[in-house]
Structure 1
Amino acid sequence: MLVAAAVCPCPPLLVPEVAAGAAPELDAARDACLDAVGVLAASRPDLLVVVGPGDDRSAGPHPAGARGSFRGVGVDLDVTLGDAPPDAAAPDRPLPQSLTVGAWLLGRARWTGAPVEGLAVAESEATRECAEAGRSLARRAERVALLVMGDGSACRTLKAPGYLDERAAAFDARATEALGSADLDAIAALDAALARELKAAGRAPWQLLGGAARDAGLAGRLLYEDAPYGVGYTVAAWS
């Protein structure tokens, strides 16, 4: 059963070494993410799964010990997702960006709790399939926690990666309200086609969370919401 969840954005800029001189601009977001991870630790889960968007090649499970890197964004920094069992073979697939940021965040929080695994969800995954994947995850252990990585629309301003789309602010407002209040029906109602048009990569992971939380009775709390660099970032904690 799902006992806690943390919702965090996944831009590499969360990593101070990547942001360099602009690092202070996301201090509030980093602090909120660490607070959300603290809620996961307090829930004392038996299993923590880091969930985030991925492409067709990276979609699927990523075991403990999988490695990710920020070399692609110009920083000589590697991270590992949890601790692999001593006799486990080295994972042959690198983590996608979203799970790499999640692994970095857990390292920053000095996670020492439950075993950690990863799951990348294809951004094209339909709402129903996302919800079913979430229900399956929630059955993995008696006490399951999720660290859900995902950004809102990348079309919030003229200088945003996806340029300005007038629909983006309203979409992000609906998503943020739903995530902050753990409104499962509102999360399920997020339009997948519109999310793709608005480059909202968090839609599929959020809807997976909605499926995992069915019948869990969790309450949500919004910790942060902003759109620096024209991309919607939301941090929330469910417990």
Structure 2
Amino acid sequence: MITCVAVVPYPPLLVPALTVRADAETARLRGACSRAVSSLTECAAEWVAVGADRSGPTVLGPDSAGTFEGFGADVRVTLGGTAPTDPALPLPALITGLLREQAGARSASVRLLAPDTPAEESRRLGESLAAESTGLLVLADGTNCSDERSPHPPDERAGQLDEQIRTALAEVDTNRLRDLDPRLCAELGVEGRAALQVLPGVVAASGGTWRGELLYSATPHGVTYHVATWTRQP
């Protein structure tokens, strides 16, 4: 049964080789992600990761490998095996491989959902995953249009949406995650919405009491990132 979850963003700036010198905020973000996945490995040596990508729905096994060469540095990562490098491995899988190696997890499989996956389908996936004896890694960024540094024009709705996600992760509020509006999330850049909506299904199927810890929530370079852990209490 899944008893531990880590929620992390998946920007390329998590890769040290892609930045000449990380600023203080980037260092804080990387540190929070490291703490989240380290706690996941303490709970389970094998992970299942869930993210969203236009290539989905698809499943990538532990033998998958890729490189960040397309982002500026030939940093090679694997999900646990020794397969040849796939230059087209999607970013959520690349970040999973990077974090897996940093945390010392044995292996990870990655389930990629289409960004427009309905909430009910995400919930059903969560229910089906709940019985697995693994740690769960959820990859999702926040909004990308919150201020003048954002890659898209500022949108006054971004702050409220990020607060909804932030509160849900801090309080293990599955209702807030279930209520995320797919259209609004798409408009404000939250492509990982479908991955976040896997969590209500996991919690419902697992039962028990869960404790959440928000490790990071900020907008360092115009994109909001949230890092959190959820743990099922004995």
Q: Same fold (TM over 0.5)?
A: yes
| Offset of residue 171 of structure 1 | 0.3
Aligned to 2:39: 39
Aligned residue among 89, 96, 99 for 2:93? 99
Q: Is the 8 A contact 1:62 1:95 kept in 2?
A: no
TM-score relative to the length of structure 1: 0.89
Is the Cα contact below 8 Å between 1:187 and 1:210 reproduced in 2?
yes
Q: Report the aligned-residue RMSD.
A: 1.9
- Matches of residues 143-222 of structure 1 in structure 2 within 5 Å? 143-214=133-204, 215-222=207-214
Determine the C-alpha separation between the residues in 1 that align with 2:85 and 2:28. Answer: 34
What is the aligned residue count?
229
Alignment of 1:1-239 (within 5 A): 1-22=1-22, 24-44=24-44, 47-55=46-54, 57-83=55-81, 94-112=88-106, 115-139=107-131, 141=132, 143-214=133-204, 215-239=207-231
Change (3 A) 1:96 1:27: same
Contiguous gaps of at least 5 residues in structure 2: none
Mapped contact 2:47–2:136 kept (Cα < 8 A)? yes
Letter in 1 for 2:228: A
Aligned 8 A contact 2:119 2:194 in 1: yes
Taking structure 2 as the reference length, the TM-score comes to 0.90
- 1:92 and 1:102 mapped to 2: Cα distance? 14
Deviation at 1:90, TM superposition (A): 6.0
Deviation at 1:110, TM superposition (A): 2.3
Aligned equivalents of 2:208, 2:5: Cα separation in 1: 11
Give, as a single letter, the amino acid of the residue that structure 2 aligns with 1:95.
Answer: L
Match of 2:210, SS?
coil
Q: Give the conservation status (yes or no) of the 8 Å contact 2:57–2:114.
A: yes
Alpha carbons of structure 1 residues 58 and 94: separation in structure 2 relative to 1, 3 Å: farther
Q: Secondary structure at the match of 1:50?
A: strand
The separation in 1 between residues aligned to 2:179 and 2:90, in whole angstroms, is: 26
**Structure 1 residues 122 and 39, CA, compared in 2 at 3 Å: closer, same or farther?**
same
Q: Aligned equivalents of 1:5 and 1:95: distance in 2?
A: 23
1:166-213 CA-partner distances (Å, limit 9, x unpaired): 100110011011011111111101111100010112211110122112
CA distance in 1, matches of 2:208, 2:89: 29
Give SS of 1:21's match. coil
Distance 1:44 1:92 in 2: 26
Give the counterpart letter for 1:75 in structure 2: A
Q: Percent identity?
A: 34
Distance 2:212 2:218 in 1: 18
Equivalent position amino acid for 2:36 in 1: A
